Amino acid sequence: MSIGVGIIGAGIMGADHARIIAGQVAGAHLVAIADADASRARAVAAETGAGRATGDPYELIADPAVGAVLIASPDATHPDYAIACIKAGKPVLCEKPLAPTAAQGMRVIEAELSAGRRLVQLGFMRRFDPGYTDIKGLLETGRYGAALAFHCIHRNATAAPHFDAAAAIVSSCSHEIDIARFVLSAELTRVQVFRARKSSLATFDDPLLVVFETDKGQIVDVELFLNAQYGYDVRGELVCETGCLAFGPAINTAVRHSGVTATSLAADWRPRFATAYRLQNQAWIGSIASGRPAGASAWDGYIVTTVSDAGVRALDLRSPVTIAQEKRPALYG
């Protein structure tokens, strides 16, 4: 049986998800697109063959032909749409972050707890990226000893116009917060944010160095540089007791010419993580069919919001902040 998917948000991510659901995912078909700007919804529906377009996301959630909803509207809209889907009993793939703050994220957790079942998967697609899954798999062989430190680089060519340093932590760094917890099977306990000399090409403090400690005594450092100009560059190196596990940003062939070896960088996250988005969306549809949750849960999304709240406080205070540890409800295993 094929699951009818409706997508809320027809911007960069919503259009990309629409193409993936329409063309690359088995067991699903694209039914409808909603966007506050109905003309955007219509354009993406026309491009991807979705039969319906609306300017009212709640109409899409209520549509009986929509069996599952993918939320790709701006961060602040995620909790209300996710809660409406939970109340309608419809599975959700919600783009990261779950919410801009932990207090807003908790509303989604409360909705799932009162529904008594997990309906939300968070769009932390790096959990499906071969770079991260390889290093997690290698770490778990035990061959390299314990993980000691995780160095992460997160550079974009240019930041979105509405971004500031807090948004860099809440929205961009949310990926590293989630993937560090996932790769290390650890919780983040303390955070400190250092401001480098500000790039003259940035409108906010950029780059930042965000340093976390984990409950296993590890260090996770994240260089966030959202106006790096030269391309999209996400990579990491996991330092273990007897070896280092690294993955690079390149997705293309290396060219050696005129004394230089060159590999192309992706222009942005979509080509870099194309495989991860496809695998994530397929896992979401598979999980709806099987009833077995996949990927990051709403609880994972909520924990990320508690960590990013602490990160924003550390940014403002210019000093380390302890991250309160939360008790995981039984629903989340």
Ligand X SMILES: NC(=O)c1ccc[n+]([C@@H]2O[C@H](COP(=O)([O-])OP(=O)(O)OC[C@H]3O[C@@H](n4cnc5c(N)ncnc54)[C@H](O)[C@@H]3O)[C@@H](O)[C@H]2O)c1
Q: For residue 230, give the amino acid letter.
A: Y
- Nearer to ligand X by Cβ, of 276 and 315: the residue is 276
Helix (H) or strand (E) holding 150: strand 147-155
Q: Should residue 104 be labelled a site residue for ligand X when binding is judged by CB under 6 A?
A: no
DSSP state of 35: -
Distance CA 19, CA 24 (A): 8
Q: Should residue 46 be labelled a site residue for ligand X when binding is judged by CB under 6 A?
A: no
User: Per-residue x/- mask for ligand X, residues 169 to 208, rule CB under 6 A?
Assistant: --x-------------------------------------
* Minimum distance from residue 150 beta carbon to ligand X (Å): 19
**Selected range binding ligand X among 71-79, 82-90, 220-228, 319-327, rule: CB under 6 A:** 71-79
Distance, CA of 154 to chain centre: 13
Enumerate the β-bridge partners of residue 219.
149, 213
Distance CA 214, CA 184 (A): 9
Q: Should residue 63 be labelled a site residue for ligand X when binding is judged by CB under 6 A?
A: no
Q: Should residue 32 be labelled a site residue for ligand X when binding is judged by CB under 6 A?
A: no
**Selected range binding ligand X among 72-80, 106-114, 190-198, 218-226, rule: CB under 6 A:** 72-80
Q: Count of residues binding ligand X (CB under 6 A)?
A: 23
* Minimum distance from residue 34 beta carbon to ligand X (Å): 6
b (16+ CB within 10 A) / e for 8-33: bbbeebbbbbbbbbbeebeebbbbbb
Helix axes 173-184, 130-140, angle to 10 degrees: 30
**Selected range binding ligand X among 8-16, 226-234, 256-264, 282-290, rule: CB under 6 A:** 8-16
**Selected range binding ligand X among 66-74, 132-140, 258-266, 320-328, rule: CB under 6 A:** 66-74
DSSP state of 119: -
Which residue do the tokens 């222009």 mark?
Answer: 267
Question: What's the N-to-C CA distance of the chain in angstroms?
Answer: 28
Distance CA 157, CA 267 (A): 7
With CB atoms as reference, the residue minimizing the distance to ligand X is 11
Question: Which of 13, 244, 17 lies closest to 5 in space, CA to CA?
Answer: 17
- Nearer to ligand X by Cβ, of 125 and 245: the residue is 125
Q: Should residue 72 be labelled a site residue for ligand X when binding is judged by CB under 6 A?
A: yes
- Nearer to ligand X by Cβ, of 122 and 321: the residue is 122
Q: Is 210 left (phi over 0), alpha (psi -120 to 50) or beta?
A: beta
**Inter-residue contact 41 to 33 (CB < 8 Å):** yes
Q: Should residue 232 be labelled a site residue for ligand X when binding is judged by CB under 6 A?
A: no
Site for ligand X (CB under 6 A): which residue of 4, 19, 36, 247? 36
Distance CA 188, CA 167 (A): 19
- Nearer to ligand X by Cβ, of 77 and 306: the residue is 77
Which residue do the tokens 């060159």 mark?
Answer: 262
Q: Which of residues 120-179 bind ligand X (CB under 6 A)?
A: 123, 125, 171
Q: Should residue 62 be labelled a site residue for ligand X when binding is judged by CB under 6 A?
A: no
Q: Should residue 37 be labelled a site residue for ligand X when binding is judged by CB under 6 A?
A: yes
Q: Should residue 57 be labelled a site residue for ligand X when binding is judged by CB under 6 A?
A: yes
Binding residues vs ligand X (CB under 6 A): 8-14, 35-37, 40, 57, 72-75, 77, 95-96, 123, 125, 171, 269
